[in-house]
Structure 1
Amino acid sequence: MRRLLLALPFALLPLAIAQAAEEHDHDHQHASLSAHEHGVGRLNAALDGQTLELELDSPAMNLVGFEHAASTPADKAKVAAVRAQLEQPLVLFSLPQAANCVLSQQELNSPLFGDKPDADDDHDHDHDHKDAKDAKDADGHEHHHDHSEIHAHYQFTCSQPDALKTLDLAQVFKTFPATQKIQVQLISPNGQQGLEVTAKAATLKF
């Protein structure tokens, strides 16, 4: 499968935090590029002819509400529910019916889905908290060592791509309210842009 997004995996991300650059020092900016930050998701979007590709990466905390391996029935039910929501991208991303987009490829990956478990998944609950406490004591900030990500990749074939004037992420924020902002890299016939969207400003233009 030809993946449009591989060409510029993170090339535009510095633009997405351009506004933050005025308020943070350079070291903090650099760290934020690859940081696992709760409340913040990342979306790559590319439109090339009739092919639309979307790639969403998010801390599991934003979508599921936890990042440990699901062991209780309630946790497993929550993971299953989130996976089912991610399996409906036409609804999740509010793609306009006029564009006549059909999902041609879909890939969901996460340690919570049983994919590539994190090393820390085997750690017990107390040990995880001890690690976090030690990290907090060392520098005054709390760091968790059991981070889990959820990765969703979609490819659509849209017979009327001219109808894709905007990408509305409002349903993403509504479905996953713990997501406070999404850093977006957008590649379209009109060029490339990096920006940040929130629930109050969730629409971007192709």
Structure 2
Amino acid sequence: MSIPQKLGTVLLATLIASPTFAEDSFNSHVHGNAALQLAFRNQELVIYLRGAAVDLLGSEHQPFSAEASSRDQALERAMRSPAYWIELPAAADCTLSQVHLGKHHVISGRGVAPEVMDSTADSVVAEHLDLNFTYSFLCANPQRFDSAKIKLFEHFPTLETVQVKIAGEKQTRQQLTPADTVLRMP
């Protein structure tokens, strides 16, 4: 594992394990709702986005048809560039260092299953799918990161809310909607 990967993993684990955020249902599979976490540590920023595939891809399950597979590939290409869905402040001078795209099958009544990329098993085919995206950045001026415009609602019209958690010097939560798309730092 590279140093940026290790750092991103540590930052994300710190955010998720934080007492401020531990008690909620971040891993819940909820249609119309995406979860966004930002973790800052010095000049490092990790952004984690998770949402139901039905909202991000238009389908509940792993793609089986050529058309569904094509939509899946198009989404993957678009999401590799965080600028597609989030506008970071130019003054913060953040440079993308790593991207990880993942799929998690949600097992009815048991929450999120371990990451599964091969969905040929009958038990996996019938379950719902969440998509997650992790981005690691190095920011030259992190103190100038005061807000970010979230463009998820433009691309994914079935999204109703984005639940945001921010951890750094201060921790906070926000709820974004199509009418309020600006993430504000505490």
Letter in 2 for 1:178: T
Give the TM-score of the pair, scaled to structure 1.
Answer: 0.72
Q: Distance in 1 between matches of 2:96 and 2:157?
A: 25
1:89 aligns with 2:56: no
Which of 53, 71, 75 aligns to 2:46? It is 53
Q: In the alignment, what sits opposite 2:110?
A: none
Q: Distance in 1 between matches of 2:58 and 2:34?
A: 14
Considering Cα pairs closer than 8 Å and 6+ residues apart, tell me whether 1 or 2 has the greater RCO: 1
TM-superposed deviation, 1:34 = 4.3
* Structure with greater strand share of residues: 2
Work out whether residues 148 and 183 of structure 2, in 8 Å CA contact, stay in contact via their aligned partners in 1. Answer: yes
Q: In the alignment, what sits opposite 1:195?
A: 174
* Structure with greater helix share of residues: 1
Give the % identical residues: 25
Stretches of structure 2 that go unaligned for 5 or more consecutive residues are: 1-5, 106-114
Work out whether residues 37 and 49 of structure 2, in 8 Å CA contact, stay in contact via their aligned partners in 1. Answer: yes
Q: In the alignment, what sits opposite 1:184?
A: 164
Give the TM-score of the pair, scaled to structure 2.
Answer: 0.79
Report 1:32-181 matches (<5 A): 34-110=27-103, 115=117, 117=119, 120-123=123-126, 146-169=127-150, 171-181=151-161
Q: 4+ residue runs of structure 1 moved beyond 6 angstroms?
A: none
Please give the per-residue CA displacement for 1:9-60, whole angstroms capped at 9, x wherever unaligned. Answer: 1644489xxxxxxxxxxxxxx7x65431101111111122211110011111
Stretches of structure 1 that go unaligned for 5 or more consecutive residues are: 16-29, 124-145
Cα gap change, 1:180/1:166 in structure 2, threshold over 3 Å: closer, same or farther? same
Report the secondary structure of 2:171's partner residue: strand
Q: In the alignment, what sits opposite 1:137?
A: none
Work out whether residues 52 and 130 of structure 2, in 8 Å CA contact, stay in contact via their aligned partners in 1. Answer: yes
Work out whether residues 104 and 155 of structure 1, in 8 Å CA contact, stay in contact via their aligned partners in 2. Answer: yes
